[in-house]
Structure 1
Amino acid sequence: MRAIVFEEFGGPEVLNVVDVPEPEPGPGEVTIDVAYAGVNYADIKARAQGFRVESLPFRPGLEVSGLIRAVGAGVTGFAPGQEVTAFLCGGGYAETVVAPAATVFPLCSGLSLRTGATLPSALPTAYALLHEVARLREGDTVLVQGAAGGVGTVAGQLARMGGASAVYGVVSSLDKAEHALKSGYDQVFTDTTFDADVREVTGGRGVDIALDPVGGETFRRTLAVVGRFGRLVSFGSADSGEMWRVGPADTYPLAISVSGFCIPSMAAADPGRLRELADRAFRTVTDGGVELPVSAEFPLAEAADAHRLVESRTSTGKLLLRVAE
């Protein structure tokens, strides 16, 4: 079967199409014939920096949709031919993948395999950030960095659905503002001026909740516009700078809470909790109309082009690799 593998860290050119043996499911696992694989920024960091890469060669890919091929010993509730979507800790850029049954989810009725591939990473992440970590309350004001990306697109919708009184987004370019404004945001600011803009629209009060996947200086600037009793949640470090640190001087004066979330860590340590979280998050799609539009789709062999588009910072919504028709 075909898979995308890199044997060294570097630019998109290190991604190669190779033939590898088809995997067999072990106890508690299933194999999936992949229809679509999601492209995430974590895949780019893995390829470029070795993020969460234990050894080389490595096959990227955190989420897929497709058909169950086979089930391993002890697996119940799945059968060959069943349409599913799955969260993986790597390996998704391939024609067939092996996945823990605990992080495989039957595709909801009425959803296509193409839509299913957009769900496993961004949607549970956004849901957890707002409802489990930040504890969104009705009337809260919310600020989201990366508002036009995958997590940002659904976070705006979920914040609005959860009763936020105002939802503000931050984008790298105003070319992305239209996309964000269609995703639940009241106002969208650029990353060069967002802190001054937030102070102005909140009358200097700041926001109740801020979500940050960037880190570095953006984290510090975001922290500065969190208001009294506010909650800042970090869920990435896209700028690859020094990891953030906070202390009493940052949190005591306004009683601010700072926390973090990482869905691969949850998948590895507590897949049962991830399943509960995903079930609730997926219902917002089937029952509430939340959607993550696919903005670009590439054949599996053109994964490098998908990575180039992500790194150009011009993409919005979700990018997919088309593995099988």
Structure 2
Amino acid sequence: MRAVEVQEYGGPEVLTVLDTEVPEPGPGQVSIDVAYAGVNFADLKARAEGYRVPKLPFVPGLEVSGRVRAVGAGVTDLVVGQEVAALTGGGAYAEVVVADAPTVFAVPSGIDLRTAATLPTVVPTAYALVHSVGRFQPGETVLVQGAAGGIGTVAGQLARAAGAGAVYGVVSGETKAAYAREHGYDEVFVGEFEKAVRAATGDRGVDLALDPVGGPTFRASLASLAVFGRLVSFGNASSAEPWQVGQGELYPRGVTVSGFSILSLAATAPAALRALAGRAFATVVDGTVKLPVTAEFDLGEAAQAHRLMGARTSTGKLLLRVSGG
């Protein structure tokens, strides 16, 4: 089978297409004939700096859609040929991938395999950020970093559907700002945002801030909170030193800081992941959430997909087409 392998860390050019053996599922696992694989920023960090990579060489990719190829011992709720979407934790840039059965989900009725590939990481993550961790309430305001990306696109729609008083986004350029406004955002800030947030909210600040960037952006998001506001950290795209907060930052205005990682949840609480995914996928089925696929590449064009995402010009969701369903 074909797979995209990384043998050394570096730029997109280290993504190499090669022929390799077809993996077989172990106990509690299934193998999947991949139709589409999602491209996520975490894939770029894995390729460039070894984010969540146990060892070299490795095949990147966290999510796929396709059909069950084979089931391992003990798997009773999935069958060969069934259309599924899966959170893989790695190995998705391939014609066949193995995934743990608890992270493999039946494709909801009415959803095609192309759309299904957008579901496993982005939609549950955005749902958790807004609802499960962020505990967003009607009438509240939210500030979302990366508002034109996959998670940002979904988070804005979820907040709007939850009755947000205002949905604010932060992006890196004007084209992305226009995209975000078309997908549920009331106001979008380009680059620096702390003073703009204070001005937009009459110096009150926002009730909920969602930050995947870390570093100075994390600090500015924390400073943008209203009294009793909540900040949810869900990544460190800046590769800054891990954040720390203390009494001096939390006590004066009663703010809180939380964190979320869907990969960590999959490893520590798979039952909670499945419940979360069920609620999240339902928002796609009922039309609350739409995540546009804005660019699609062949498996052998993975480097091009990484260049596009790394240039910070992409919006929505990027996919690799493996068999195309």
Question: Into which bin does the TM-score normalised by the smaller protein fall?
Answer: over 0.9
Comparing 53-62 and 173-182, the one that deviates more: 173-182
Q: 3-state DSSP class of the match of 1:319?
A: strand
Paired letter, 1:170: V
Q: 3-state DSSP class of the match of 2:46?
A: helix
CA distance in structure 1 between the aligned counterparts of 2:191 and 2:140, rounded to whole angstroms: 22
CA distance in structure 1 between the aligned counterparts of 2:200 and 2:177, rounded to whole angstroms: 17
Q: Which residue of 1 aligns with 2:121?
A: 121
Q: Which residue of 2 aligns with 1:167?
A: 167
Q: Which residue of 1 aligns with 2:219?
A: 220
Q: Which residue of 2 aligns with 1:73?
A: 73
Q: Which residue of 2 aligns with 1:32?
A: 32
**Runs of 4+ more than 3 Å apart:** none
Q: Which residue of 2 aligns with 1:307?
A: 306
Offset at residue 20 of structure 1 (A): 1.1
Q: Which residue of 2 aligns with 1:47?
A: 47
Conservation of the 8 A alpha-carbon contact between 2:158 and 2:288: no
Offset at residue 183 of structure 1 (A): 1.6
Q: Which residue of 1 aligns with 2:249?
A: 250
CA distance in structure 2 between the aligned counterparts of 1:42 and 1:91, rounded to whole angstroms: 13
Q: Which residue of 2 aligns with 1:15?
A: 15
Structure 1, unaligned stretches of length 5 or more? none
Paired letter, 1:163: G
Q: Which residue of 2 aligns with 1:102?
A: 102
Offset at residue 202 of structure 1 (A): 0.4
Q: What is the TM-score with the length of structure 2 in the denominator?
A: 0.98
Paired letter, 1:42: A
CA distance in structure 2 between the aligned counterparts of 1:177 and 1:76, rounded to whole angstroms: 46
Conservation of the 8 A alpha-carbon contact between 2:161 and 2:288: no
Paired letter, 2:272: R
CA distance in structure 1 between the aligned counterparts of 2:314 and 2:3, rounded to whole angstroms: 24
Offset at residue 177 of structure 1 (A): 1.4
CA distance in structure 1 between the aligned counterparts of 2:102 and 2:239, rounded to whole angstroms: 31
1:213-245, CA deviations, whole angstroms, 9 ceiling, x for partnerless residues? Answer: 000011111111101000000001111122211
Q: Which residue of 2 aligns with 1:240?
A: 239
Offset at residue 289 of structure 1 (A): 3.1
Q: Which residue of 1 aligns with 2:59?
A: 59
Q: Which residue of 1 aligns with 2:199?
A: 200
Offset at residue 292 of structure 1 (A): 0.7
Alignment of 1:131-210 (within 5 A): 131-192=131-192, 194-210=193-209
CA distance in structure 2 between the aligned counterparts of 1:237 and 1:71, rounded to whole angstroms: 35
Offset at residue 48 of structure 1 (A): 0.4
1:29-84, CA deviations, whole angstroms, 9 ceiling, x for partnerless residues? Answer: 11100000000000000000110011010111000000111111111121111111
Paired letter, 2:312: R
Offset at residue 288 of structure 1 (A): 3.6
Structure 2, unaligned stretches of length 5 or more? none
CA distance in structure 2 between the aligned counterparts of 1:149 and 1:134, rounded to whole angstroms: 19
Paired letter, 2:300: A
Offset at residue 164 of structure 1 (A): 1.3
Paired letter, 1:157: Q
Conservation of the 8 A alpha-carbon contact between 2:67 and 2:84: yes
CA distance in structure 1 between the aligned counterparts of 2:171 and 2:293, rounded to whole angstroms: 18
Q: 3-state DSSP class of the match of 2:169?
A: strand
% of aligned pairs identical?
A: 65
CA distance in structure 2 between the aligned counterparts of 1:120 and 1:220, rounded to whole angstroms: 29
Offset at residue 122 of structure 1 (A): 0.6
Offset at residue 18 of structure 1 (A): 1.3
Paired letter, 1:211: L
CA distance in structure 1 between the aligned counterparts of 2:165 and 2:106, rounded to whole angstroms: 34
Q: Which residue of 2 aligns with 1:211?
A: 210
Q: Which residue of 2 aligns with 1:282?
A: 281
1:4 aligns with 2:4: yes
